[in-house]
Amino acid sequence: MMRTRITGCRILTPSQEIASGEVLIEGRKIRRVGPSAAPPAGGPEPDRLLDARGLIAVPGFIDVHVQGAGGSDVLDESFEGLSRISATCARFGVTGFLATTVYRGGDANRHLEVAAAACGRTLPGARLLGIHLEGPFIAAGKRGMIQPDCLSEVRESVLEEVLARCAGALRMMTVAPELPGALGLIARLREEGIVASFGHSQAGYEETRAGVAAGITHVTHLFNAMNGMHHRAPGPLPALWESPGVSAQLICDGVHVSPPMLRLAAALFGAERLVLITDGMQAMGLPEGRYLYRGLDYESRAGTTRYLDGTLIGTALGMSELIGRCRDTLDWPAAVVLRASAVNPARVLGIDLLTGSLEEGKDADLVLLDPQLGVRLTCVGGEVVYVAGAAPPG
CA-nearest of 226, 230, 232, 231 to 248 is 226
3-state secondary structure 182-209: HHHHHHHHHHCCCEEEECCCCCCHHHHH
Contact status, residue 64 vs residue 249, Cβ threshold 8 Å: yes
CATH of domain 3-58+358-387: 2.30.40.10
CA-nearest of 189, 71, 169, 173 to 127 is 169
Tell me how many degrees the CA angle 101-107-111 measures, rounded to the nearest 5: 35
Going from the C-alpha of 334 to that of each of 85, 302, 340, 373, the distances in angstroms are: 26, 23, 10, 9
Give the CB-side neighbour count of residue 286, counting CA atoms within 13 A. 24
Q: What's domain 59-348's architecture? A: Alpha-Beta Barrel (3.20)
Is residue 118 helix, strand or coil?
A: helix
Residues whose CB falls within 8 Å of the CB of residue 239, separated by 6 or more in sequence, listed in order: 205, 206, 208, 209, 212
| Domain ranges (residues) in the chain | 3-58+358-387, 59-348
Q: Check if 279 is active-site.
A: yes
Give the CB-side neighbour count of residue 278, counting CA atoms within 13 A. 36
Exactly one of 73, 279, 352, 365 is catalytic; name it.
279
Is residue 288 helix, strand or coil?
A: coil
- CB count, 10 Å around CB of 45? 8
**pLDDT tens digits along 188-240:** 999 999 999 999 999 999 999 999 999 999 999 999 999 999 999 999 999 99
pLDDT tens digits in sequence order for the chain, 394 residues long: 899 999 999 999 877 899 999 999 999 999 999 998 766 655 678 889 999 999 999 999 999 999 999 999 999 999 999 999 999 999 999 999 999 999 998 888 999 999 999 998 999 999 999 999 999 999 999 999 899 999 999 999 999 999 999 999 999 999 999 999 999 999 999 999 999 999 999 999 999 999 999 999 999 999 999 999 999 999 999 999 999 999 999 999 999 999 999 999 999 999 999 999 999 999 999 999 999 987 889 999 999 999 999 888 889 999 999 999 999 999 888 888 889 999 999 999 999 999 999 999 999 999 999 999 999 999 999 999 999 987 665 4
Is residue 12 helix, strand or coil?
A: strand
Phi, then psi, of 128 in degrees rounded to 5? -85, 110
